[in-house]
Amino acid sequence: MKITVLGCGRWGSFHAWYADHIGHDVTLWGRPDSQHLQELLETRKNEYLSLPASVTLTSDLKAALAAADICIISISAQQLRSFARQLKAAFDTSLPFVLAMKGLEEGSGKRLTTVMAEELGPAVRTAVWVGPGHVQDFISGMPNCMVIASADEGLTHFLVDTFTSPLIRFYYGQDLLGIEIGAAAKNVMGIAAGMLDGAHLTSLKGALMARGAHELSVLVSAMGGQAMTVYGLSHLGDYEATLFSLHSNNRRFGQDFIEGRPFKKLAEGVSTTEALLDLSRKYGVELPITSAVHAIIKEKKDPHEVLKNLFLRSTKSE
């Protein structure tokens, strides 16, 4: 298959590496002014991996789309709407898109597949690729399980068959809404976990895991999804990689925030916090952990006080 990956940061470059690794013909696109693309053009390397010569690098978006049987998008979730508008004039409606990114649109709380449909039309074929794993682990040969989901069961099966390998085993996602919400929200839980690390309250991660999955299951159910979806790979199944790993940007952001260190990489959970609170108000569902993270980051409340109030000072039924 001819695979085009749009976005050449950490995950975009990995998806290009992975598609090439399992035998596909790969084009990796980056913006003309992208420092990531420039680094790859000059050295074929970034801080995570080396790209083989068989991966084509380009800044020509039209040519990248024309070369594709499948197009993977891996950019910041908050850039997706404006980027989809760029795609509108150049894509064929038969081209399937795979969103290898996690988040919700800040300001609307909309899922990323909804954004794609609004900008490219209801006929657009869009799937999501989510689940646990870090680039560093995959590159070293450490296998994991992930999930692909779309509203089109045939497309889901086609993509799973295309991308499955001994390195990544894919599951067929059955609940697109629940998978998208769960995948986005796990980054907020990652920030909360990092905050617990920074506050020397790491022992409370067990409570975070139990309460986090529960509060998200209530939200997903209220939105019309399946409550049990959040206990799968898109959310609870991704907690190990997000709440504990040193490679987790969201966990690292939370820890650095508490410890007063600047964090220069992308932590999607920050914007997702705002989006989840929009959904909380819309559907009348309380999200205490998300609210606590927001209170610490945006309202500048004392993190130790907020975290202790969240986990230690209220009597709750489990």
- Residue spans of the domains in the chain: they are 2-172, 177-311
Predicted confidence (pLDDT) at residue 315 exceeds the cutoff of 60: no
Cα distances from 169 to residues 23, 145, 165, in angstroms, run 16, 5, 6
Average pLDDT over residues 98-125: 96
Work out the mean pLDDT of the chain and round it to a whole number: 95
Tell me how far apart the alpha carbons of residues 101 and 25 are, in angstroms, rounded to a whole number. Answer: 22
CATH classification code of 177-311: 1.10.1040.10
Answer whether residue 93 shows pLDDT above 90: no
Asked whether the predicted pLDDT for residue 79 surpasses 70, the reply is yes
pTM for the predicted model, two decimal places: 0.94
Query: Quick one: fold of 2-172?
Result: Rossmann fold (3.40.50)
Ramachandran angles phi, psi of 52, nearest 5°: -70, 160
Query: Alpha carbon of 96 to those of 113, 146, 173, 204: distances in Å?
Result: 12, 19, 16, 42
Whether 131 contacts 145, CB under 8 Å: yes
Instruction: Read off the pLDDT of residues 258-282 as tens digits, 9 standing for 90 and up.
Output: 999 998 887 889 999 999 999 999 9
pLDDT mean over 164-192: 97
Identify whether the C-beta of residue 125 lies closer than 8 Å to the C-beta of residue 96: yes
Q: Which of 186, 205, 282, 298 is catalytic?
A: 186
Check: CB of residue 25 under 8 Å from CB of residue 47: no
Selection from 135, 25, 36, 113 nearest residue 70 by Cα: 25
Annotation says 110 is catalytic: no
48 DSSP 8-state letter: S
* 284/290 Cα distance (integer angstroms): 14
Residue 268 has what pLDDT?
Answer: 87
Residues 6 or more apart whose Cβ sits within 8 Å of residue 318: 210
Does residue 40 carry a pLDDT above 60?
yes
